[in-house]
Amino acid sequence: MDYEAQYEHVRSVYDRIAPQYDEAVGQHAVSRRAKQLALHVIKDVTPNGGRLLDVGCYTGIEAILLAEQGYRVLGVDLSPEMVHKAQEKARRRRLENRASFRVMRAADIGLLVTEKTGPFDTVYSVFGTLNLEPDLPRFKNGLASLLGDSSRFVCGLLNPTVMYELLMAPLFGKFHGYRKLRKQEVVTRVGLGDDTVKASLYSVDDVQTLMAPEFQLERILGVHILYPPPRGSQGHGRWWLARALDEVELRLQSRFPFRNFGFFSLLVFRRAAA
């Protein structure tokens, strides 16, 4: 794989959609419940006022919310335009002392050690950033250098095996879930237009193997097991169905085997003793 070509393509796409990101992706494509779940888990594993590293911060949606609640957050992203939007938010809300942002690849976070920026109480990368990172082994090595013993890494990844794609979509003549099983990567559309990026797909077992032995898997949560992330704004489209299914999802999200078959897998890893 040509890493530089991959980085350049992803950077150019996300630079282009940055002005519309909050509307097109940040609010609609991922449901509020999914974002609320990620924030709940991050806060649950981090001491009050702790230091956080947001890998793939986009426009700083999660980072700003956490900074407003007293956490100190450094957000990094491949896209300069995304970082600029995040910095603007921090300035407008007078959070520069708690939320800072910089351009950096996920694979390069180990450089923060030489700058004496770490360590962090928790590192998180939620909902797909690492599916776009071609050099995950290098990312893991950098991550290990930034977290002390028993600190947590919270990550959200696109899952290759999704329950609603396998069981429900075929009822409507859609069989993409089965075709996806044969692939290691998919082309996914981002933003409001026709921009696409290639995303590598990882099962829970894949990620657990990659992260060992430095990290031990502590918790698995499935997100969007029964229905896809709604793309309409709340109150439109199939939001009524999503709300009805949420109660069922809450019961299934941490239960085996359902937790392994969400559109996203939200995983919590603990840094093993060195």
Inform me whether the pLDDT recorded for 175 exceeds 80. Answer: no
For every residue of 43-104, DSSP letters joined together read HHTS-TT-EEEEES-TTTHHHHHHHHTT-EEEEEES-HHHHHHHHHHHHHTT-TTTEEEEE-
Per mean pLDDT, which range of 29-43, 67-81, 142-156, 256-270 is the poorest? 29-43
For 44-95, write each residue's pLDDT tens digit.
Answer: 999 999 999 999 999 999 999 999 999 999 999 999 999 999 999 999 999 9
pTM above 0.85, yes or no: yes
Q: What percent of the chain has a predicted confidence (pLDDT) above 90?
A: 61
Comparing 29-38, 40-49, 62-71, 256-265, the range with the smallest average pLDDT is: 29-38
Is a pLDDT exceeding 60 seen at residue 231? no
Torsion of CA 21, 26, 27, 33, to 10 degrees: 170
Q: What is the pLDDT of residue 1?
A: 65
Mean pLDDT of the chain, nearest integer: 88
| Cβ pair 99, 60 in contact under 8 A | yes
CATH number of the domain where residue 252 is located: 3.40.50.150
| Residue 25: pLDDT band with limits 50, 70, 90 | low
Q: Tokens 């996300």: give the residue.
A: 14
Range of the domain at 7: 3-271
Question: Whole-angstrom Cα distance, residue 130 to residue 114?
Answer: 23
234, pLDDT greater than 70 = no
The larger pLDDT score, comparing residue 133 to residue 167, is at: 133
Query: The tokens 């793939």 sit on which residue?
Result: 56
Closest to 187 in 3D by CA, of 201, 171, 205: 201
Residues 226-255: what's their mean pLDDT?
70
- Would strands 196-200 and 185-189 be described as parallel, antiparallel, or unpaired? antiparallel
Residue 191's region, left for phi above 0, alpha for psi from -120 to 50, else beta, is left
- Residue 159 near residue 264, CB atoms below 8 Å: yes
Angle at the Cα of 253 (from 268 to 36), degrees rounded to 5? Answer: 70
- Total domains in the fold of the chain: 1
Q: Which residues of 97-126 are buried (b: 16+ CB within 10 A; e: fewer)?
A: ebbbbeebbbbebbebeeeebbbbbbbbbb
pLDDT at position 29 is: 46
Tens digits of per-residue pLDDT, 103-113? 999 999 999 99
Give Cα separations from 55 to 105, 114, 140, 170, 274 (angstroms).
Answer: 8, 18, 12, 35, 23
pLDDT of residue 186: 78
Average pLDDT of the residues in 121-145:
95
Pairing of strands 264-271, 215-223: antiparallel
- Tell me the average pLDDT across 255-268: 92
Express each pLDDT in 139-165 by its tens digit.
999 999 999 999 999 999 988 888 878
Bridge-based pairing state of the strands 185-189 and 120-125: unpaired
